Every structure is written in C-alpha cells, then in structure tokens.
Structure 1
C-alpha cells in the first residue's frame, strides 16, 4: 500500500466512525470531546468519544479492518433501531477499487492523500448535519464488512495457551466476526413489505492508488410505520440538527 495512504487511512477511519456515532446520536453529546482532535485541517474539531472502552474498541477495530483490507471491499456502519433491531441507516466505504500494491510509491504525494481524506470527511459532515435528529437512547450501531476469500477461525485453538495481550488480540481478530446473509434480520415477508431506501452518494477519495467510494443508505419506508416510530425527532429532512440560524 502507498505509504501515505497507509499513514492517513487509520486517522481517516477514526474520524469517520466518531463523526457518525456523534451526529447520529448513538452516544450522548456530553460523552464526546469537541476541542482536542484536529485532523486534515477540517474547519472544526472532530468530536471524539471519551469513554475508554469505546476508544479501545474503535482503535482495535481499525487495526483489525486494516489487517484484512486486502480481502474487504466494503466497510459499513449500521445504525440499528433498538426497538426492533432493524438497520435504519447505513454508512458505507467501498474499497473495491483501492490499489493495495502501489508500483510507483512516489506517484501520489502526501498532500494529495491528505486533501482527498479532508474532502471526503467534509462531505460526510455536510450530509450528517442535514439529516433529521435521532432521539436519545433510540439507536445502537453495528459494524459490517463485505469480504472475499477471507478465512477466519483457523487460529482458534482452545488448547493453546495465550501468553500476552498481542496473542490474545490475534486470536480475537480471527474469531470476532459473525458471518451473516443480507437481510438476515428482517421479519417474515407477511409482516414486512419491501423497504424503500434513499441512497446518497458522498465524496470519496480518488488519487492514484487511493480510490474509496462513499455513500449512505436511509430507510424511508418499511411498509410498517412502527419500524421508524420513536427514532426521529420532528425535524424535516434537510434541516440541520443544530436548528435554523434564521
């Protein structure tokens, strides 16, 4: 992988995850720090959750995903309605065209990579600010990956003695993903009509070997009003969660 992509992709994913968790009210605003994390010369600080366990989870998640990136072609953050465990929003990074081997490591500069990540995060922030506000304690999140030729579980040996934290993490990275099928958590067809989903294309990254597509999906109708009841505040689509400035 291009050295500049490798250097900044971890920072980009940290910002990406925390921005979604904050703007979609997965955790309360007071659990985020707004004045300490400046990245990619964005016009504002990136909100970073302060809970030690979540900090460790996100850091380990990023390391795990990057270690499998040659097999992963999509990384998704799913916003889940707590009342019925259905995914109502999804934020997706598509790595399908990312070049993992850069034949000319000098072909893309650090500035180009930096600027691509900044533009992508700016697009995400602009999109998130326009979405209807989610009510407190109404959603949680799950991480999903789409992968090819990813073999997991082969390092799981119950007779093996784990001597240190790194060995423990290695085993967990080999066994902490659950295989599922698309729409596996939807109710039976007679109780659930085909959902209507709004797809929004966001700015990704495109500089030499760095090619990442970004988009979001939002459930706007599930054929059953109860699926979305209690999730969104009475904000119109397109109104900022911070309210009107007029």
Structure 2
C-alpha cells in the first residue's frame, strides 16, 4: 500500500475539515479517506471484505448523523423563529392592558409618592424595605411589623432617611422579610398599564410606571388584578 498517497489524501481531507470545523469529520472527508485507501491498497494483500463492509457501514452512519444534525438545526431555527413571532404578537397585544410583573425598580415622580409592591410566601413578624439610588447607595429604610402572607404594599413618600425630598427618577427596591428570626421568601413587583412595547436585540420590554420590564417577567395580565 502506498502510504505517501494516503497521507496526501489524509492531509487534504484534514485541511478541508480545518477550514470548516476542527472537531467535525464530514461525509466528504470520510469518503475521500475511504477512496484513498481503496486506490492505494496492496494488490497482493487487498483490503479484507469484512473490514471494507465495516468502513462502508461507518460511512453510512456518519452520513445519517450529519443529516440528523442538519434536520435538528433547521427544526431549532424554525422553533426559535416561531417563538419570536409569538412573543412579538403577544407583546403588542399587551399595550393598554393592566399587568403585574416582577421588578425591583420603582419610579418616583416629582412631588408624588410611589407604591412599593411586594409579596410574601409566609407571614412575617418584620419586613425591611430598602430603597437605593442609581449609584446603589441606601436612600431610605423602613421597618414594617406584622405583615401577612400574600400581596402587600408600602407607600414611599419620596423622602430619604433624613427626611429630605428625593429627586424624581428610578430607584431600586429590596425587601427583607423574617418571622421570629427565620427568613421569609419575598418578591418585589410592579403593577400598571402598559403604555409601550420596545423591541431590542436583548429581548422584548414592556413600559409601565415609567420602568422597563422584560416580557418574561410578567406574572399576571388583566383588569382584575388587585392592588
């Protein structure tokens, strides 16, 4: 068998494979290697029939796997396009609807107060509401006592711990709840009318209460949502 010829075919196949993907051996490259082996086999000691059949079976398996992978890739692409289309259509239909969505942001309008909405998994003997500014520094901390499980809210008057009025803008909210020293799970949310839908490269966002909420964070939709 002429090893040099096989090596040259192998090198050529490897070069083609490298240009595509260093980790993948395609059916064309596999076939080139098989043909090179047949052309350069020793006439006195030809390739064993069983071994040749085994290599053909391997080639067939490679071809089938490639077809399966291509089919799965196309299916995934179709599903992603369908999911994106459905998401965009659903988002557009939410304009003007009252929604409840997870968000730790709250907007303070000039001269107004802001509702801090949160939900407790269990009743809590103590709830700390912590409001921070854009730079992450604490603005206001309020300790509430004896809060039942479920939805609750606290009205922030827009003042900091020193009693000074804060400027209008967006603030972040953290709720820490405990019951006799044991932690109680909680979540902060916003509720309001969707006035705008924004499509971006990072996803679809709903605008409500002057904050942006990813559509995936919407918990409830409908006019019957309780405050």
| Bucket of the pairwise TM-score, normalised by the shorter protein | under 0.3
TM-score by length of 2: 0.20
TM-score by length of 1: 0.19
More relative contact order, 1 or 2 (CA 8 Å, 6+ apart) = 1
Larger strand percent: 2
